[in-house]
Amino acid sequence: MKKVQKNIRHLSLAELEEYLEELGEKKFRAKQVYEWLWLKPVQRFDDMTNISKELRQHLKDQFVLPGLVVDATQFSEDGTIKSRFRTHDGHLVEGVLIPTTSRFTACVSSQIGCSLSCKFCATGYMERKRNLEFDEIYDEVALLNKQCEETHGKKISNIVFMGMGEPLLNYKHVLRSIEKITSPGGMGMSPKRITVSTAGVAKGIRQLGDDKVKFKLALSLHAANDAKRHEIMPINDSNNIQSLVEALNYFYKQTKNEITFEYILFKDFNDSLRDADDLIKLYRQVPADLVNLIEYNPIEFAKFEKPSEQKVEAFMQYLEKHRVNVRLRRSRGKDIDAACGQLANKESH
């Protein structure tokens, strides 16, 4: 029976050192291999040019190195680039590079598909196939970073976990990927430049507080009362707004990290001044730094539409008048289905 080979990237540096020492290799070899795995990620053992052929062959016999590969790329007129990645077991998952004048943001996925079925999101209409492992999430970031360097001559400046899937339902791998991304042996990125967005898993938000994470948190709110939120986000059944308010306050008490509310405006659903009042009330119960108003990007199987510019403007001004720190997030990459809520692995034409 063929033995199952272990993914070499699932070994820590210490485990790798121990393993190579048993083989009679010098300790520094482990650091060299580790750098090939994380600092300059290679997809093949043969590319590890500063270690001997024998050792490369041995690693090939003992381990696998299953990286993500770019399966398709689409370029938007506004500079946004959407990539479809293929996993070692043939699944597809999407990530987006969003350039603006001041920053280059990588929007990454944490699951293949999603189990939350939010009514306005294309990914919500797919089934969840599996969680992405921490090294696959790391690969998404590394590949988007490489794209950024090739296209703009700069590294990515920010990462948002706002792609496919619910990060807090893949808690362990999301945290481990961030640990790798922020470690000096990985990309050495500041956790303050990373935002994890959740549809509202109260238990997970509390856990983040207990784990004293350093990154920012965004709550996909989209309706500020239970009846409406329940209608568009089934997760609200088990995680109602009050439970989220308590969890966010706990998270803030433990970490003092920035919290943002994400609020997509839907025509005639959550865009009235009464809805704005609900949002203001909620904003005052949580130490939130910002409300991000988001333009809705229509998808073919949802009945929602985006409100008129005047309606958006009125909503925004009303919030500002009540001292809410609010920002309108214009959609990027709509022409290639790369905008917020549109990721669904559609075949590119």
Range of the domain at 127: 69-336
| DSSP reduced 3-state for 67 | coil
Domain match, 56 and 187 both: no
Give dist(CA 195, CA 215) in Å, integer: 6
207 touches 171 (CB < 8 A):
yes
Beta-sheet pairing, 290-294 with 259-264: parallel
Q: Of these residues, 17, 25, 94, 140, which one is catalytic?
A: 94
Same domain, 93 and 238: yes
Q: Which of 49, 64, 79 is the last residue of a domain?
A: 64
149 is catalytic: no
Domain identity same for 57 and 90? no
Task: Point out the catalytic residue in the list 114, 121, 148, 340.
Answer: 340
What is the Cα–Cα distance from 68 to 267, expressed in whole angstroms?
38
- DSSP assignment of 191-234 equals GGGEEEEES--HHHHHHHHHTT--SEEEEE-S-SSHHHHHHH-G
In a domain, 349, yes or no: no
Phi-psi region of 6 (alpha: psi -120 to 50; beta: other; left: phi over 0): beta
Residue 273 is assigned to a structural domain of this protein? yes
Domain presence at residue 345: no
Q: What pLDDT is recorded for position 338?
A: 57
Residues 120, 222: one domain?
A: yes
Residues 35 and 163 in one domain: no
**239 and 150: one domain?**
yes
Are 301 and 264 part of one and the same domain? yes
Domain final residue, candidates 64, 91, 106: 64
Nearest-CA neighbor of 114 among 135, 134, 129? 129
The pLDDT of residue 128: 87
Note whether residue 226 is domain-resident: yes
Two structure tokens written together for 212: 């004293």
pLDDT at 118: 86
In a domain, 1, yes or no: no
pLDDT (0 to 100) of residue 125: 77
User: Do 82 and 30 fall within a single domain?
Assistant: no
CA angle, 262 then 263 then 265, to 5°: 150
Specify whether 20 is located in the same domain as 55.
yes
Please report whether residue 346 resides in a domain.
no
Residues 58, 75, single domain; the answer is no
Q: State the 10-residue block means of pLDDT for the chain, 349 residues long.
A: 78 93 91 92 89 92 92 89 93 93 94 87 82 96 94 95 94 97 94 97 98 97 95 93 97 97 95 97 96 85 86 96 92 64 51
Q: Say if residue 122 is in the same domain as residue 203.
A: yes
Flag whether 344 is in a domain.
Answer: no
- Statement to judge: residues 128 and 23 lie in one domain: no
Does a structural domain hold residue 284? yes
Of 17, 38, 64, at which residue does a domain stop?
A: 64
Confirm whether 114 is a catalytic residue.
Answer: no
> The domain that contains 53 carries what CATH number?
1.10.150.530
CATH number at residue 303: 3.20.20.70
Domain count along the chain? 2
